[in-house]
Amino acid sequence: MQGNHVINDNSRMELVLSLRQAGITSSSVISTMENIPRELFVPQAFKEQAYQDVTLPIGHHQTLSQPAVVGLMTECLNLDDRKKVLEVGTGSGYQTSVLSCLCRRVYTIERHGSLLKEAERRFEYLRLHNITSKAGDGTLGWDAQAPFERIMVTAAAADIPPLLLDQLAVEGIMIVPIGTNDHHNTILKVTKKRDGLETEELRDVRFVPLIPEEATGS
């Protein structure tokens, strides 16, 4: 696997600028996103757009979220090197890679087997060894590894997924897009307290739907 060397420092500077303009203030998040070669995670036809603040297709009707959304969702997890994170929806593996640089370990689930294999090759190429991945139904979470201090869902759910909430540690944070409208979802920050949930709406976005079904080999 090789990076695309047409990507230059200006492209990365544009990425940093777009993150700052979107209100991302975490220096660790910005630095991580600047240093991860985003062009590795998109099809050849879209490599020139890899650092633009746009959503890009990755196959199987899935997408790579625009950098501003990745930055916001990552920043709002309040990560550190002690946190164990569950990611639902590996996709291209870009968000997974960002998380892996900011926490102790990432467990990630993807229902499309072929997307997962491509992502795993990228993790190996980038020498990201704190990622554990599997193909499966992300709505079920990963009970054998629970509880998780942080959970990130990268597809839109109709409501906060109850099984994922069960696997979230007390005082843990879940970031999840909510909504069934194809053109309008809202990213929620959910904090699990001993006496209930605290929720905060972060921004409106458009995500592919979270589909509760067995993993496919496609």
Catalytic residues: 65
Q: Are 190 and 173 in contact (CB under 8 A)?
A: yes
DSSP 27-75: HHHHHHHHHS-GGGGS-GGGGGGTTSSS-EEEETTEEEPPHHHHHHHHH
Task: Report d(CA 200, CA 208) in Å as an integer.
Answer: 21
Task: Report d(CA 152, CA 99) in Å as an integer.
Answer: 10
With CA atoms as reference, report the closest residue to 205 among 68, 51, 43. Answer: 68
Amino acid at site 122: R
